Amino acid sequence: MGAFRLTTEPIEPFRLESELENTVTGALVTFAGRVRNRNEGRDVLHLFYEGANEIASTEFEHIETEARSRFEIEDIRCAHRIGKLELGEIAVWIGVSARHRGAAFDGCRYLIDELKQRLPIWKKEHYADGDSGWINHS
Amino acid sequence: MQDQPGAIVTVTWHAMLREKTGRAQEEVSTRAATPAELFLELAARYEFSIPADSIRFAVNGEIVSSKDGLQNGDRVSFLPPVSGG
C-alpha cells in the first residue's frame, strides 16, 4: 500500500502513526485537519467530500517525491476522508517521520500545502440555513 | 485532405460538474485533439458557467497538460478547482 489513501471510514491517527514507528527516526510530526463549525461567516452543519481516487494517488506520489527531494524525510503516511463528515471529524491526516525535527516539520508543511492546492478532492459545505455550496481554494 | 477519424473517450465528471451534467460518467465521440478542446465542446453542450481556464485535466489517471493529445479509448477527467484538506 502506498503512503496515501482516500477513505470513507473515520481516520484513526494512532493506527497511521503506528505505521511510522521505527528506531531510526527521532522525529514524528503529524497534522490533522478537522471539520470546523464556521466558514466565511456561515454556520456549517456538516461537510461532504468527494475525491478522484486514482488521480489523487498518482498526484500524491508526485508530491511525495518532491518532498523527499527537498527534505531528509524517512517516511510518510496520509489519509483523506471522503463522504459525509460531521463537525470535529478529521478530514485529512498527515504524518512525517525523519531523523531530525526540522525535516519532519518542513516536510509535513509542504505535503499539506501542496495537497490542498493539487489533489482532486472537493468539499461541499452544508449550512444551517439549508443552503449548500462547493468550496474553491484557489 | 484526409478526414481525421474521431475518438471515443470515457469522460468522468466530478463535484460541481457532476451535479451540472447529472451524470458521473459518459462515453463521448469527439474530434477534439486535446482535453482542453474536448472541455470547450462539452461546456457548450452543458452550458457550464465555470471558467474554462479554472479546469485541470487528467487522462488515464494522471494530471496532464491541457495541450496533451487525446487518443481513442482514453479516460478523461475534468477537474474543477479543488478544496481538499
pLDDT digits (tens, 9 = 90+) for B30-75: 999 999 999 999 999 999 999 999 999 999 999 999 999 999 999 9
Whether A81 contacts A92, CB under 8 Å: yes
Average pLDDT for A32-45: 93
Instruction: Indicate the pTM of the whole model.
Output: 0.94
Give me the interface pTM, i.e. the ipTM: 0.92
Considering only CB atoms, which chain A residues are within 8 Å of B18? Answer: 50
State the Cα torsion B70-B14-B83-A38 to the nearest 10°: 170
Dihedral sign for Cα A62, A63, A64, A66, please. Answer: positive
**Which set of grid coordinates corresponds to residue A122?**
472537493
- Stretch A22-37: mean pLDDT: 94
Are β-strands A27-34 and A90-98 bridged in parallel, bridged antiparallel, or unpaired?
antiparallel
Do A137 and B80 lie within an 8 Å CB cutoff? no
Tell me the shortest Cα–Cα distance from B56 to chain A, in angstroms: 9
Query: What distance in Å separates the CA atoms of residue B62 and residue B40, rounded to the nearest whole number?
Result: 20
Q: How confident is the model over A96-117, as pLDDT tens digits?
A: 999 999 999 999 999 999 999 9
- How close is the nearest chain B Cα to the Cα of A62, in Å? 10
Asked if A115 reaches chain B (Cβ–Cβ under 8 Å), the answer is: yes
